[in-house]
């Protein structure tokens, strides 16, 4: 059984989907820690409801990115975490974590990479008028959404309707991430 930490900055819907898949026995892993850069994020409540420890640190309270990541790394090591699963974590991972977890950090992104990397991928796709976007799960490297692709799924863009497009993407994200983690850990 793999020991993982889930990193999130927002509501934690992907965390919830992963935890439920673990509870069903679909993924051979245990979430040892939830890490967030937003101490007030809803993911902290979701984790507490599942009795999963939360590390909520505001990067602004640290002198540097390295100091912030060193504090995270200390908790990851204390919890014997083997894989980092980024699920709506809105920060670039730096060299401290990349060096400690080579090829053991994965991310989910709401586009068919390499198209529309970075922030607001859905907005980028809609602004470009594409008919199909999607979801990508990839390994994390030092670039922004540039790591090796593990799996992708296409999602139709609902013309002129960002809200519906986002809902469709989130629905695909939950299934895709579960499928990837099942493949990696089972």
Active site residues: 109
Q: Is the dihedral of CA 151, 133, 113, 92 positive or negative?
A: negative
Q: In the structure encoding, which two tokens stand for residue 19, read together?
A: 């935890």
Pairing of strands 83-86, 149-156: unpaired
Q: How far apart are CA 181 and CA 18, in angstroms?
A: 8
* CB-side neighbour CA atoms (13 Å) of 134: 14
Q: Which residue has the tokens 């989130």?
A: 170
As beta bridge partners, residue 155 has 133
CA 57 to CA 35: how far, in whole Å? 8
Q: How far apart are CA 28 and CA 21, in angstroms?
A: 9
């Amino acid at each position: 059984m793999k020991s993982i930490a889930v990193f999130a900055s927002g509501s934690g819907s992907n965390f919830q989907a992963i935890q439920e898949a673990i509870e069903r026995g679909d993924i051979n892993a245990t979430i040892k820690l939830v890490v967030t850069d937003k101490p007030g994020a809803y993911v902290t409540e979701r984790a507490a409801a599942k009795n999963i420890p939360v590390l909520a640190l505001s990067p602004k309270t640290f002198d540097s990115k390295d100091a912030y990541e060193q504090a995270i790394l200390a908790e990851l090591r204390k919890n014997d975490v083997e894989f980092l699963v980024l699920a709506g974590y809105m920060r670039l991972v730096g060299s401290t974590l990349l060096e400690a977890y080579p090829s053991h950090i994965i991310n989910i992104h709401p586009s068919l990479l390499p198209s529309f990397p970075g922030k607001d991928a859905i907005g980028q796709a809609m602004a470009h008028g594409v008919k199909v976007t999607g979801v990508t799960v990839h390994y994390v490297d030092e670039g922004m959404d540039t790591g090796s692709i593990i799996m992708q799924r296409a999602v139709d863009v609902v013309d002129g309707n960002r809200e519906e497009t986002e809902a469709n993407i989130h629905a695909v994200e939950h299934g895709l991430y579960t499928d990837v983690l099942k493949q990696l850990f089972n």
